């Protein structure tokens, strides 16, 4: 092994005894050492020793670092006398070591650094320009980091310093109602945000023993989802479909429906247009939903590094509230763009590409993110983190690499079909391909009982519809079933940003499954349903309040709903 070259910088040369002590120290740490002295008049006292990539600073500035470290120990509750006494008693003159690296190359936001021999994966480093980066690749003699800034912020030969910290984000109650970037910096015009703490963006998922079963409903206000594909607090339900099929609208409706339900919402935008985020923010503000929502945004114009860390940063913000016993809903919009950003970084880092040019660990990329969603045990406060990841497909191909990966990680998926969307069925949810693996455990007793055979009836309708589209002679039973199924499809249509209350969903389901709307022309079914709900709110407030508060559908209430609905529909037909 070659001898380590060490240089002493000082205003005057050290004595032979001093040099011997330094050589002995260096040989104990590095082995064979060649020591050289260099005169440095800028040092007023002490010396600076450079050995390889390590710097040992025993100048005035170096000693000031020790004093700063002492001051940082002092808090308002500290006993300053005891701290000073302990420091004096235990004082041993020592030299501080820090590693300084040099930039080798900068390519599209990825910086190669030489000299940081002891740096750790995911550690934050600081460049001489002040910009930060995160280590993502470590080799024998070099390491590479992603840059949280533009390429102009780093140049070849620039010094890079370790921080011994992993990437983190400031957190706290003051982030509610704000729009921030992936580093926690405000993007709105409301000034700086006073943080209550600082959390690493990468954290271990809760252990099995720290979780409890998912059995509390997270109501979206969307009839199709709450009745057939219920979402529980702590669940991960994927929203998947082609571009422009209403994926973001479903997630946004779920956020709007949490008003007054003591649920914190975090919306993570990955690679979206700035105009889209502005529009979404305005929608939340008008609906009085911004007060309980945090928007974490990485724009399409941002570097891949910021798009990569955005969902992890959003999850850290959400976990701050979950650890305090709160219920949190987080939306990732969307993980397809997140995977593309990670692929870009991995290719620039020189990692071997796999299927569709994605790196081999792309599955772990999303599994370690989504596994952080959980329903915590009562011992940990009973908080929950519910995830609604969004994935965009091409030509409804759910068998593509990223969609299949995320489908296997999540607890179900809501599949939005382009053909249904184009046919005017909104939300365009495909009943056959959508599923919730939590099922009825995440439904209230009222909704569960009211749903009945809805999914089975719709499945039979879709099957018969396919086989009878070319038939001209149908028996009456088949005609009745087709009419009933078409009526159900009309009932499930729902306007954007118009979530239903639970009692409205129960009344609609009970009336629809009792076939009270079948006699109506299809064009009038939706209008009749909305007027029926207004009728119940005005004339049957006791039924509505019981369903909303007790959340139980008794046979007496069910019979009363059917009778009132039949009377209303008959009067509606006569208008």
Active-site annotation holds for 211: no
> Which residues, 6 or more positions from 367, have their beta carbon under 8 angstroms from its beta carbon?
409
Question: Helix, strand, or coil here: 520?
Answer: coil
**Of 326, 437, 462, 524, which residue is the catalytic one?**
437
E strand spans, 74-189: 96-107, 110-114, 123-127, 132-138, 142-147, 159-166, 168-171, 179-180
Estimate the share of the chain in helix, then strand, then coil, as percent rounded to the nearest 5: 40, 25, 35
> What is the number of other CB atoms lying within 10 angstroms of the CB of residue 239?
30
Phi-psi region of 388 (alpha: psi -120 to 50; beta: other; left: phi over 0): beta
Contact call for residues 108 and 151 (beta carbons, < 8 A): yes
Closest CA to 227 of 447, 392, 72, 18: 447
Q: How far apart are CA 347 and CA 104, in angstroms?
A: 18
**DSSP type of residue 375:** B
Retrieve residue 412's tokens: 């179900």
What does the DSSP assignment read for 488-537? HHHHT---TT-PPPHHHHHHHHHHHHTTTTTTS-HHHHHHHHHHHHHHHH
Cis omega (within 30 of 0) for bond into 334: yes
What does the DSSP assignment read for 434-457? -EESSGGGGS-HHHHHHHTTHHHH
**Active site positions, annotated:** 437
């Amino acid at each position: 092994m070659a001898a380590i070259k060490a240089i002493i910088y000082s205003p005057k040369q050290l004595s032979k005894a001093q040099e011997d002590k330094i050589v002995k120290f260096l040989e104990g740490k590095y082995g064979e050492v060649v020591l050289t002295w260099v005169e440095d008049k800028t040092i007023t006292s002490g010396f600076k020793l450079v050995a390889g990539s390590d710097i040992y600073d025993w100048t005035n500035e170096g000693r000031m670092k020790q004093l700063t470290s002492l001051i940082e120990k002092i808090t308002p509750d500290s006993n300053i006398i005891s701290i000073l006494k302990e420091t004096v008693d235990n004082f041993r003159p020592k030299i501080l070591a820090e590693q300084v690296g040099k930039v080798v190359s900068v390519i599209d936001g990825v910086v190669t650094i030489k000299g940081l021999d002891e740096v750790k994966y995911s550690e934050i480093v600081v460049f001489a320009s002040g910009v930060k980066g995160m280590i993502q690749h470590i080799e024998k003699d070099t390491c590479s980091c992603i840059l949280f800034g533009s390429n102009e912020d780093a140049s070849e030969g620039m010094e890079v310093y370790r921080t011994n910290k992993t990437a983190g984000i400031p957190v706290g109650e003051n982030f509610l109602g704000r729009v921030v970037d992936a580093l926690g910096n405000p993007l709105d015009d409301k000034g700086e945000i006073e943080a209550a703490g600082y959390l690493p963006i990468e954290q271990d998922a809760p252990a099995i023993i720290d979780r409890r079963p998912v059995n509390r409903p997270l109501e979206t206000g969307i009839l199709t989802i709450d009745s057939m594909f219920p979402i529980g607090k702590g669940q991960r339900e994927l929203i998947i479909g082609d571009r422009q099929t209403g994926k973001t609208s479903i997630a946004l409706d779920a956020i709007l429906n949490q008003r007054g339900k003591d649920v914190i919402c975090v919306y993570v935008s990955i690679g979206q247009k700035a105009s889209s985020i502005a529009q979404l923010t305005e929608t939340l503000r008008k609906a009085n939903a911004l007060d309980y929502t945090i928007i974490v945004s990485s724009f399409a114009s941002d570097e891949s590094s910021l798009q990569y860390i955005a969902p992890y940063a959003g999850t850290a913000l959400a976990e701050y509230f979950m650890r305090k016993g709160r219920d949190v809903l987080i939306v990732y919009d969307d993980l397809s763009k997140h995977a593309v950003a990670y692929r870009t970084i991995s290719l620039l880092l020189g990692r071997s590409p796999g299927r569709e040019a994605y790196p081999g660990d792309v599955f772990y990329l999303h599994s370690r993110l989504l596994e952080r969603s959980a329903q915590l045990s009562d011992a940990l406060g009973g908080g929950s983190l519910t995830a609604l990841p969004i994935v965009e497909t091409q030509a409804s191909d759910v068998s593509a690499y990223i969609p299949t990966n995320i489908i296997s990680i999540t607890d179900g998926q809501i599949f939005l079909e382009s053909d249904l969307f184009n046919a005017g069925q909104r939300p365009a949810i495909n009943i056959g391909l959508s599923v919730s693996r939590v099922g009825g455990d995440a439904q209230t007793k009222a909704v569960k009982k009211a749903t009945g055979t809805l999914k089975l009836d719709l499945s039979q309708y879709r099957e018969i519809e396919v086989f009878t589209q070319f038939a001209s002679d149908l028996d009456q039973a088949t005609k009745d079933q087709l009419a009933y199924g078409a009526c159900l499809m009309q009932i499930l249509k729902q306007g954007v940003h118009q979530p239903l209350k639970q009692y409205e969903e129960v009344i609609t389901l009970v009336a629809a499954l009792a076939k009270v709307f079948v006699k109506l022309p299809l064009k009038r079914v939706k209008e009749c349903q909305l007027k029926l709900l207004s009728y119940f709110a005005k004339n049957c407030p006791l039924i509505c309040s019981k369903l909303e508060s007790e959340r139980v559908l008794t046979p007496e209430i069910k019979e009363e709903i059917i009778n009132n609905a039949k009377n209303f529909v008959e009067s509606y037909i006569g208008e």
